[in-house]
Amino acid sequence: MSIQNSLINENRWAQSVAPEMPKSHYRTQQTFKHLAQFSRPTEGSIDMKRVLIIGSSGSGKSTLARQLGSKLELPVIHLDRHYWHPGWVGTPQELWQQTVSRLLQRDNWIIDGNYRGTLPMRLKAADSVVFLDLPPWICAMRAVKRRIQYHRRPRPDIAEGCKEPLFDPQLFQFIRHVLSYPDRAKPYVMQQLNTIASDKHVVLLKSPRDVDNFLSAPLDFPSLKLIHSRQMSASKPQVARVPMD
């Protein structure tokens, strides 16, 4: 995506210690043994059939969508492929609302992308949300690397006819845009996620290691609801027990 269009149209949406990743990729007991303090969801209690992936530019939304789609056997929808047309021509707002609404009517999907104007309707339709909250310097490096990687070939998540310019006068402005994400866009995203955390399966991934751990066992990764529950329990004052004998 050209930097100018990215800055104008992509409404982009800092950092706990990531779970320690073992050398093997067994499930919960080993991969998440240090997270035993969280209550494990009961068998079948999480139903990831309509998954929304959001995050800053360069956070790896499209890559994670493809990997998770392969693991869960769900169809993947890249919003950028539907919004942009050859030559980086965007979809008019009214038509875009209709397009997203139509995509959400499908039974199963993994959708990646931001686009703030349609975020509320996507959050309402999703049963699970994955927020890629990676450090901004990682996102900036990946965004530049992507520009180099796809300079001479099409990106799998962008429509045909939309080429990545290798050099752009607004490159430094774009990098600043990505680096400012935690102050510029993250507060709004967290507000929205906290609102739905009690009803949806919301996952925050704060590092590449978090992403690897999540992919190894998506249904077992601690949700925002479980984290909030533990924090509330820890904040309650402990009442001393008086001996009765």
Beta 50-55 vs 76-78: how paired, if at all? Answer: unpaired
Find the range with the poorest average confidence among 59-73, 132-146, 229-243: 229-243
List C-alpha distances in Å: 66 to 63, 74, 235: 5, 9, 39
* pLDDT recorded at residue 21: 43
Taking the mean position of all CA atoms in its chain, how far away is CA 43? 24
Q: Using one digit for the tens of pLDDT, what is the confidence trace for 100-113?
A: 999 999 999 999 99
Confidence at residue 31, expressed as pLDDT on a 0 to 100 scale:
42
Residue 18 predicted with pLDDT over 60 = no
pLDDT per position as a tens digit, 31-46: 444 443 344 444 445 7
Question: Checking DSSP bridges between strand 84-85 and strand 128-132, what pairing results, if any?
Answer: unpaired
Range from 68-82, 136-150, 207-221 carrying the lowest mean pLDDT: 136-150
What's this model's pTM, rounded to 2 decimal places? 0.75
Highest mean pLDDT pick, 66-75, 147-156, 159-168: 66-75
Whole-number pLDDT of residue 227: 58
CATH architecture under which domain 3-12+45-231 falls: 3-Layer(aba) Sandwich (3.40)
Q: In what order do the strands lie in the sheet with 50-55?
A: 76-78, 109-112, 50-55, 128-132, 201-205
**Region of poorest pLDDT, from 21-30, 76-85, 96-105, 178-187:** 21-30
Using pLDDT thresholds of 50, 70 and 90, give the confidence band for residue 234.
low
User: Lowest-confidence range among 8-22, 35-49, 227-241?
Assistant: 8-22
Q: Residues 80-88: what's their mean pLDDT?
A: 90
**What is the average pLDDT value for the chain, to the nearest integer?**
79
Distance, in Å, from the CA atom of 2 to the CA atom of 6, rounded to the nearest integer, reads 6
pLDDT (tens digit, 9 = 90+) per residue, 110-160?
999 989 889 999 999 999 999 999 999 999 999 888 888 877 677 788 878
Three-state SS string over the chain comes to CCHHHHHHHCCCCCCCCCCCCCCCCCCHHHHCHHHCCCCCCCCCCCCCCEEEEEECCCCCHHHHHHHHHHHHCCCEEEHHHHHEECCCEECCHHHHHHHHHHHHCCCCEEEECCCHHHHHHHHHHCCEEEEECCCHHHHHHHHHHHHHHCCCCCCCCCCCCCCCCCCCCCHHHHHHHHHCHHHHCHHHHHHHHHHHCCCCEEEEECCHHHHHHHHHCHHHCCCHHHHHHHHHHHHCCCCCCCCCC
Q: Where are the domains of the chain?
A: 3-12+45-231
